[in-house]
Chains A and B, each alone.
Chain A
Amino acid sequence: MQSPYERKRFRQTSLFAYRIILPSLVFILFFIAYPLLYSFIVAFKEYKYGVPTGKIIWFQNFIDIFTKSTVAPGFYNSLVVTMKFTLVAVVAVVVISLAIALLINQQFRGSGLIKVALLLPYAIPGAVSAVIWAWIYDPSFGVMNGVLNGLGIIDEYITVAADPRWALWAILFAYVWKFVPYSTFLFAAGLATIPSSVYEAARMDRAGSIRAFFKVTLPLLRPVLQMVLVIQTIFALVMHFGLVFVITQGGPGDATRTLAWLVYVESFTFTRFGRGAAMAIILALIMIVFIYLYLVVLNPERRLKRREAP
């Protein structure tokens, strides 16, 4: 039972809280919730060439995506490319960033400098880094060719962005360079919370560094790892778009035609906004499946609780 004073105080606190979050709430409503709702509606409409007929066609856009001869093959191919990219990108980013985080977690001369240097790729705007990589890969004057040629690895300048065997890997490499720092700092923050006494206890139990990593570090980092997996999967599914746009435009052929690129092409090149919005919803559903896998299915505590349940 609250006293009148406590109730008044609670009301005042609540009002203050609402006043504080109001600007963010308004921003979210106008710039996120409204476009989201609108794109959801558009996905169920016939909407092409910028001229909305206004006709609700329910799931026809989705049916077309999966069955129409002019759309479905490209869509399925983009699904394969997207999945390949996402799986490799997530694994690469997680492994590399965890390794770097373990390294910078050690105190040594120059570790501060490495931390600052690590921030640079993430601090560069996406479009700028895409242009930088396009120049690095350039088959006529790119630094990559210059270095490989200088080291005697290649005799003649090679093209990676126009070679279907290499184009996706070129995008992937640039992507990993860009997004490793973000995860590295998340892991580094997680590592900093692990008390040194746990490692001391492991040492007393004669655990080597590899055993300590798998038995101490990794289990205690699990919440951070889950979070990094979720964030990196979301990033890998959509944030490669700038690189594809600048470096390959989905080519050569359909080698780098990912789902995010397809959403853009359908919406803004073909002006089939309905179909583009439907594809974006499919992309969102894929993300949700991944997140569910990471947070629910791969959660050992949850599995344990299920086993314990009567």
Chain B
Amino acid sequence: MKKRHMLGTLLVSSFLLATAGCAPAAEPAEAPEPVVITVEVPVVVEKEAAPEEAGPEELAPLGPVTLKFAGWTYDLEKVQQNSDKYVDWVAEQAPVPVDVKIDWSDAGFGEFDTYVTTTFAGGNSFDVLYGSDHWLAKWAAAGWVVPVEDYFPEIRDYVTDIAPYSVEAMTYDGKLYGLPYYTDVMYFFYNKTMLEEAGIASPPTTWDEVTEQSLILMDKGITSQPFMVGLKAGAWFDEGFFALIYSEGADLFDENFEPIFETDSGPVYDMIEYIAASINDTGIVPTKVLEMTAVDVQQAFKNGDAAFVIVPGYMVREFNTPGISKVAGQAEVSMMPGATHATDGYSRMYVMGNGALRDEATKVASWELIEFLGGKTTVDGETGYQIAKRWAVENGLGFSILSLWQDPAVEKAFSAMADTSVMQAQKELAISKDGISAPWFAEWISYVRTEVQKALLRQEPTESVLENIKQQWLDLKAE
């Protein structure tokens, strides 16, 4: 009897252990409808009123509200400073003053999508949050983030000021969902000193040249792992992979999301085969790139381990900073090798969570936070993209605000780090990830990571991997 009792207890316990926590904490609301706000404040009219004629101080501030603001962990001190500035600005200088407090929370970039997913699926929400191009479609399809232009049509005024690939990345179903936090492209950096030591006059312009030069560097004992690109299964994989295939002119889908890439030849096939050969045959790419993110690759380059790397532009600042880089002064940027020299451009953005729609004051404050951080604001009489400029000048973060390239402070900061003419030229060839506006993209790309890794390790032929990838896309689309 006792034994039967024990068996029962163990069976139940094991069941609990396996299943508890695999479902969302609470039944979320039904599919979020576009929220109807019954109390409308004439926000646009007030914004357009000249401050001199109807100064913000004459308007009673809305609120108080506490904005739930979430982002990934990066330079939290600066995030705090920017938030504090916003709180002061929105209370006194904003077009519609609001009495705001900010409730900030953060998670690592790699875990941020999960953090957001569990929050919203558990029935909670954020008012403003960081977003990224490869999550936007998923979040928007779920109704967790809302199209800002439905509530604040003036956001469209920014479209002409932002690089097209970035606008595309922030758009879902034809609607603009936010403003840029930072946007960057994947660049090809090389170690000038290593090349000089090897007697190489100029950086490679094709992938065959990358191989040739890498083999020379290896032969001369300058480095044993010349070329690195982060291909660990995760968000950085996507940027590296798309940079590689775009450099050879890949085009994955047509406007109807029909796959148009070939599975036995063409740029996608060729680049997967190239990297597989570089890992398994020539050895110019170490196997460890499959467990490296772009941040790890950056570290390896700073340590002087690699001669060629593909990393986002914002990392160049650290490459050439003495004290934190062993190769300071040696890092140079070059156009991406390949047939077209195109690369991957990605966008991180500020988006509005559905929590912002709970009342008018929160909605207005949320939009003003997005605009303060990602748009053009007037603070203490000075008008401009102040926060984007600050991130660019102080942290070297890339931007898609085209006019910022003409800003002397930005120009000075970037030219001290790298050749800005090359960076600008590369930026013009940046392409947003193909198919990214499909709601199933996040699921598909996760599958792609696993499959492509198998081809890179030669566990499966590239042809069958590409067939699987294509079929997965079609199946998800059909769903």
Contacts and interface: CB of A to CB of B under 8 A. Distances in A.
Interface of A: 32, 35-36, 38-40, 42-43, 49-54, 68-70, 74, 139-140, 156, 159, 161-164, 230, 234, 237-238, 248-254, 257, 263, 265, 267-273, 276-277, 279-281, 283-284, 287-288, 291-292, 295-296
B305 A230 contact: no
Contacts of B22: 39, 263, 267, 273, 276-277, 279-280
B15 A39 contact: no
B18 A237 contact: yes
A296 B4 CA distance: 10
Contacts of A257: 450
A152 to B, nearest CB: 18
A281 B16 CA distance: 9
A42 to B, nearest CB: 4
Interface stretch (B53-61, B96-104, B288-296, B324-332): B288-296
B193 interface: no
A251 B18 contact: no
A299 B264 CA distance: 56
In the complex, the 5 A-B pairs of residues with the closest C-beta atoms, listed nearest first: A39-B23, A284-B18, A162-B290, A253-B454, A280-B22
B273 to A, nearest CB: 16
Given A68-B475, A253-B453, 8 more contacts: A49-B141, A51-B31, A51-B142, A70-B471, A140-B296, A251-B290, A257-B450, A295-B3
Nearest to B21: A35
Interface stretch (B111-119, B175-183, B416-424): B111-119
B393 interface: no
B471 A252 contact: no
Given A50-B142, A234-B17, A38 B450 contact: no
A263 B31 CA distance: 23
Contacts of B141: 49, 51
A249 B10 contact: no
Contact of A50 (B18, B120, B454, B460): B120
A276 B24 CA distance: 10
A40 B19 contact: yes
A291 B12 CA distance: 11
18 contacts: A50-B24, A51-B141, A52-B28, A68-B475, A70-B447, A139-B291, A140-B296, A140-B305, A162-B288, A162-B290, A238-B17, A249-B234, A270-B442, A276-B23, A284-B19, A287-B14, A287-B15, A295-B7
A291 B7 contact: yes
Nearest to A263: B22
Given A52-B28, A270-B442, A36 B117 contact: no
A213 B289 CA distance: 49
B339 interface: no
Contact of B14 (A140, A277, A291): A291
A36 B15 contact: yes
Q: By CB atoms of chain A within 10 A, which of B20, B113, B118, B446 has the most?
A: B20
Contacts of A35: 19-21, 23, 25
Interface string B270-293: 000000000000000011111110
A162 B16 contact: no
A140 B113 contact: no
B103 to A, nearest CB: 22
Interface string B438-467: 010011001101110110010110000000
Given A69-B471, A70-B472, A70-B476, A42 B446 contact: no
Nearest to A274: B23
Contacts of B121: 50, 271, 273
Given A32-B20, A35-B21, A252-B457, A159 B286 contact: yes
Given A70-B475, A237-B18, A263-B22, A269 B443 contact: yes
A53 B142 CA distance: 11
Nearest to B25: A35
B67 interface: no
Contacts of A69: 471, 475
Interface string B281-323: 0000011111110001001100101000000000000000000
Contacts of B457: 164, 252-253
Contacts of B259: none
Contacts of A249: 232-234
- Chain B at the A interface: mostly helix, strand, loop or mixed? helix
Nearest to A271: B117
B70 to A, nearest CB: 16
A270 B446 contact: yes
Nearest to B18: A284
B473 to A, nearest CB: 9
B223 interface: no
Contacts of B450: 74, 250-251, 253-254, 257
B36 interface: no
Contacts of B447: 70
B192 interface: no
A197 B142 CA distance: 69
A283 B18 contact: yes
A251 B449 contact: yes
B138 to A, nearest CB: 6
Nearest to A247: B291
B346 interface: no
Contacts of A267: 22-23
B382 interface: no
A280 B18 contact: yes
Contacts of A139: 286, 288, 291
Contacts of B25: 35
A287 B15 CA distance: 7
Contacts of A49: 138, 141-142, 439
A150 to B, nearest CB: 18
A29 B335 CA distance: 61
Given A140-B299, A270-B446, A284-B14, A156 B31 contact: no
B290 A252 contact: yes
A139 B230 CA distance: 13
B232 A251 contact: yes
A35 B15 CA distance: 12
Contacts of B143: 50-51
A252 B453 contact: yes
A238 B23 contact: no
Nearest to A269: B446
Q: By CB atoms of chain A within 10 A, which of B19, B30, B234 has the most?
A: B19
A31 to B, nearest CB: 8
B399 interface: no
Interface string B13-56: 11111111111110110111000000000000000000000000
Interface string B119-155: 0110000000000000000100111100000000000
B232 A42 contact: no
Nearest to B224: A156
Contacts of A163: 287
B232 A36 contact: no
B11 interface: yes
A237 to B, nearest CB: 7
Contacts of B120: 50
B219 to A, nearest CB: 16
